[in-house]
Amino acid sequence: MIFLVDFPLGGLAKWLRFCGFDATLMRLAPDKPGSWPPPRPQTHILTRQVACQRLKRPDLLILAAPDPEGQLAEVMQRLRLSARHLKPLSRCSHCNDPLVSLSRDLVQGRVPEHVFLHHRRFYECPRCHRVYWPGSHIQGITGALRDQLEQLGDRGVAPRNNRP
């Protein structure tokens, strides 16, 4: 599933990527329908601009929640997404690029010592070279969504940029 996310909803785009969804930010102008991409299969456009309603696009979801976690819950609810649709630790939350597996040998020195000692699986973003691992990735997510992610057993941490 692909999401085109209205520019002010950067927090939501990040959480969607945490969950493994392809989420690209774009500026949506309700008064310039010509600047909008044509509808594509499996693609949803997310905004909080009520004025977009007049465009009557079937791929458009106008969200009410003011905070990223609430917006994510709203998207999941309205598209009937559940834990089985989520693939945590599969996409960089900053770049949206798919993560690649990283050999543990290449991780030493790039993550805190305790993380290296306590984790076996590591992933890297090929674009920004951030390292991810199962951990406290979902600390900012609340409620039902956290439970769903915990059931999947993947709780990745997005550390600061650790460029080699």
Comparing CB distances to Zn ion, the nearer of 9 and 125 is 125
CB 25 within 8 A of CB 13: yes
CA distance 164 to 162: 6
The answer to the question of residue 13 lying near Zn ion (CB under 5 A) is no
Least distance between Zn ion and beta carbon 16 (Å): 15
Is the Cβ–Cβ distance between 125 and 90 less than 8 Å?
A: no
Cβ closest to Zn ion, residue 94 vs residue 119: 94
* Shortest distance (Å) from residue 15 CB to Zn ion: 15
Q: What's the order of all strands across the beta sheet hosting 43-47? A: 22-26, 2-6, 43-47, 60-62
By CB under 5 A, is residue 162 in contact with Zn ion? Answer: no
Sort strands 100-102 and 60-62 into parallel, antiparallel or unpaired: unpaired
Of residues 87-146, which lie at the interface with Zn ion (CB under 5 A)? 92, 94-95, 125, 127-128
Residues that bind Zn ion (CB under 5 A): 92, 94-95, 125, 127-128
